[in-house]
């Protein structure tokens, strides 16, 4: 008797669901073959606050739909009635997990439209803040992937180290989660005394963590069996569905704004983003692990290369009378999830005419996720969501 066959639980689903002429499944809920299952917004496996409407046949998903809007606060409207400097406290709350790219793109938009040059030291400090933000997100995100397969240990390790990085942020900026460190024209302060030494101690912990998490996740039979081959994104979908960042790099397409449009000081740093071609959950997780490794390296490089003293803020006009001439621009940077951009239109008044934030989750969590969930297993939905690193507040803003 073939034992491997005996333990294969994948049922043969070639005959159903029945498809209509357009290749869409015919779903009749009253036939008792299908069940409508809602996952979220109150569900531990759903990242953030959004919900999935799944139509399932057995434990296989035949149709899926995502519902967002649970975190909508109307930032883009609120910023239209605030002066440029007042936009900052609202802007950073657009993506809660990683607030620094928000600050950077808003500052960069304002600087570009009003023609302000940022001093050298401030650019280095900005680069450092952005990389630290990426570090703290990835410390939660990398082991979070194992968490979706009920392997919670790495999550505990990662969160502990993340807290230490948040301490460094507190030292640098005064804020734990929201920093408001990057302002138009520059940054708010220089590095405190001994910051580099304490940061280096934390980075040593991260190095250890990287080795441990490699043993815990990527050499783990359960993780491998469940993640390899799950939710493959074909290369043709990259542009069709708008896939950015690590998810695109896992499919072998180089999408990293730091490399393709170097901003701040990234052109002076030595790094090579990792790409692979498997494009499944395992590959995306591996890309994130390499990103984390690269971030540690980048922070070391930045701390070695950056000047200790210098001008940190270019003179800016009186914020009360700061009118920016009519114009429009789009600024992008690389967040931990992919290209993160802001489109700003000004009309010569002291408030922005229109601000539009475009994060990668906007397409990842809607069009792409809906497509990826088809034919997946119910138990894998959380893993697929986390592998795309969806952040609901940046979808609805």
Partner 1 sequence: MEREFDKAIKEMYKEKFLAPENEVRQVSAPDGSIIEIDPLKDYFCQERPKELKPRKGVVEDFLNWARAESLWVLGFGTGCGSIEIPPLVTPRFDMYRYGVQMRPTPRQSNVFVISGYLSVKTLKRAIRSYEQMPSPKYIIALGSCTINGGMYWDSYNTINRLDHYIPVDVYIAGCMPRPEALLAGFGKLKELIKSGQGEKANEYARNFDWYKANQKKIIRDWNMPDYNW
Partner 2 sequence: MVEILKELEDRFQVTDLVQQKDHLAFVSVDKNKAIPMITWLKDQAGYTSLTLLTAVDWLEDGKFQLTYMINNPKKNSQIAARVMIDRENATMESAHHLWESIRIYQRELKEMFGIDFPGSPEVDESFILEGWVDIPPYRRDFDTKKYSDETYFPRPGRQSNDPAEYMKSKMYPNE
Give 99-102's long-range contacts (Cβ < 8 A, gap of 24+): 99/133, 99/177, 99/178, 99/179, 100/129, 100/130, 100/132, 100/133, 100/179, 100/181, 100/182, 101/130, 101/133, 101/333, 101/334, 101/335, 101/340, 102/357
Contact partner at residue 255 from partner 1, partner 2, none, CB < 5 to 8 Å by partner kind = partner 2
For residue 355, the minimal CB distance to partner 2 (Å) is: 10
Burial class (CB in 10 A: 0-12, 13-18, 19+), 60: middle
**CA pair distance 342, 355, nearest whole angstrom:** 7
> In a 3-state reduction of DSSP, which class is residue 327?
strand
Spell out the residues 6+ positions from residue 297 whose beta carbon is closer than 8 angstroms to its own. Answer: 271
* Residues in region 8-47 near partner 1 by CB under 8 A: 30, 32, 36, 41-44
SS (H, E, C) 339-387: EEEEEEEECCCCCCCEEEEECCHHHHHHHHHHHHCCCCEHHHHHHHHHH
Of 32 and 81, nearer to partner 2 (C-beta) is 81
Q: Which stretch binds partner 1 (CB under 8 A): 117-125, 155-163, 241-249, 313-321?
A: 155-163
Tell me: does residue 184 bind partner 2 (CB under 8 A): no
Of 155 and 237, nearer to partner 1 (C-beta) is 155
Of 34 and 237, nearer to partner 2 (C-beta) is 237
Of 97 and 312, nearer to partner 1 (C-beta) is 97
* Residues in region 316-355 near partner 2 by CB under 8 A: 318-321, 327-330, 339, 341, 343, 345, 350-351, 353-354
Packing angle, helices 195-213 and 120-147, rounded to 10? 30
Of 143 and 245, nearer to partner 1 (C-beta) is 143
Q: Which of 16, 45, 58, 86 binds partner 2 (CB under 8 A)?
A: 86
Spell out the residues 6+ positions from residue 143 whose beta carbon is closer than 8 angstroms to its own. Answer: 153, 154, 155, 157, 158, 213, 216, 217
* Residues in region 173-212 near partner 1 by CB under 8 A: 176-178
Tell me: does residue 115 bind partner 2 (CB under 8 A): no
| 180, 185, 187, 193: CA torsion to nearest 10 | -160
**CA pair distance 68, 337, nearest whole angstrom:** 18
Tell me: does residue 393 bind partner 1 (CB under 8 A): yes
Contact partner at residue 261 from partner 2, partner 1, none, CB < 5 to 8 Å by partner kind = partner 2
Tell me: does residue 83 bind partner 2 (CB under 8 A): yes
Q: Which of 37, 56, 78, 378 binds partner 1 (CB under 8 A)?
A: 78
On whether the CB atoms of residues 73 and 383 are closer than 8 A, the answer is: no
Of 205 and 269, nearer to partner 1 (C-beta) is 205
**CA pair distance 133, 331, nearest whole angstrom:** 18
What track of x and - describes contact with partner 2 for positions 233 through 252 (by CB under 8 A)? ----xxxxxx----------
Of 98 and 396, nearer to partner 2 (C-beta) is 396
Strand partners, 83: none
Helix/strand number for the chain, H first, E second? 16, 8
**CA pair distance 186, 108, nearest whole angstrom:** 10
Tell me: does residue 159 bind partner 1 (CB under 8 A): yes
Contact partner at residue 86 from partner 1, partner 2, none, CB < 5 to 8 Å by partner kind = partner 2
Tell me: does residue 396 bind partner 2 (CB under 8 A): yes
Residue ranges binding partner 1 (CB under 8 A): 30, 32, 36, 41-44, 48-49, 69-74, 77-78, 81, 89-90, 93, 96-97, 140, 155-156, 159-160, 162-163, 176-178, 393
Residue ranges binding partner 2 (CB under 8 A): 68-69, 72, 74, 76-78, 80-83, 86, 112, 237-242, 253, 255, 260-261, 318-321, 327-330, 339, 341, 343, 345, 350-351, 353-354, 356, 358, 362-363, 366-368, 371, 396
């Amino acid at each position: 008797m073939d034992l491997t066959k005996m333990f294969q639980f994948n049922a043969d689903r070639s005959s159903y669901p029945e498809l209509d002429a357009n290749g869409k499944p015919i779903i009749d809920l009253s036939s008792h073959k299908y069940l409508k299952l809602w996952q979220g917004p109150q569900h531990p496996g759903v990242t953030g606050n959004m919900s999935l409407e799944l139509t399932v046949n057995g434990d296989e998903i035949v149709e899926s739909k995502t519902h967002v809007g649970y975190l909508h606060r109307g930032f883009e409207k609120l910023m239209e009635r605030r002066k440029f400097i007042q936009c900052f406290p609202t802007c950073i709350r657009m993506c809660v997990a990683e607030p620094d790219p928000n600050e950077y793109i808003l500052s960069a938009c304002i600087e570009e439209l009003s023609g302000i040059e940022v001093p050298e030291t401030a650019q280095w400090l900005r680069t450092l803040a952005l990389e630290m933000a990426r570090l703290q997100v990835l410390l939660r995100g990398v082991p979070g992937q194992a968490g979706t397969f009920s392997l919670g240990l790495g999550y505990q390790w990662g969160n502990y180290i993340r807290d230490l990085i948040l301490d460094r942020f507190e030292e640098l900026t005064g804020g734990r989660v929201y920093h408001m460190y990057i302002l138009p024209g520059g940054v708010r302060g220089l590095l405190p005394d001994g910051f580099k030494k304490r940061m280096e101690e934390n980075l040593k912990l991260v190095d250890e963590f990287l080795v441990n998490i490699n043993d815990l996740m990527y050499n783990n039979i359960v993780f491998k069996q469940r993640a390899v081959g799950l939710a493959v994104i074909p290369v043709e979908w990259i542009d069709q569905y708008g896939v950015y960042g690590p998810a695109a790099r896992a499919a072998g397409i180089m999408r990293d704004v730091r490399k393709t449009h170097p901003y701040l000081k990234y052109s002076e740093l030595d790094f090579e983003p990792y790409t692979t071609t498997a494009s499944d959950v395992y590959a995306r997780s591996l890309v994130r692990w390499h990103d984390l490794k690269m971030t540690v390296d980048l922070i070391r490089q930045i701390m070695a290369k950056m000047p200790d003293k210098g001008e940190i803020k270019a003179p800016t006009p009186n914020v009360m009378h700061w009118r920016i001439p009519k114009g429009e621009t789009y600024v992008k940077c690389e967040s931990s999830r992919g290209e993160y951009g802001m489109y700003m239109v000004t009309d010569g008044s002291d408030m922005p005419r229109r601000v539009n934030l475009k994060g990668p989750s906007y397409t990842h969590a809607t069009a792409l996720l809906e497509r990826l969930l088809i034919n997946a297993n119910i138990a894998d939905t959380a893993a697929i969501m986390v592998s795309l690193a969806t952040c609901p507040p940046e979808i609805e803003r």
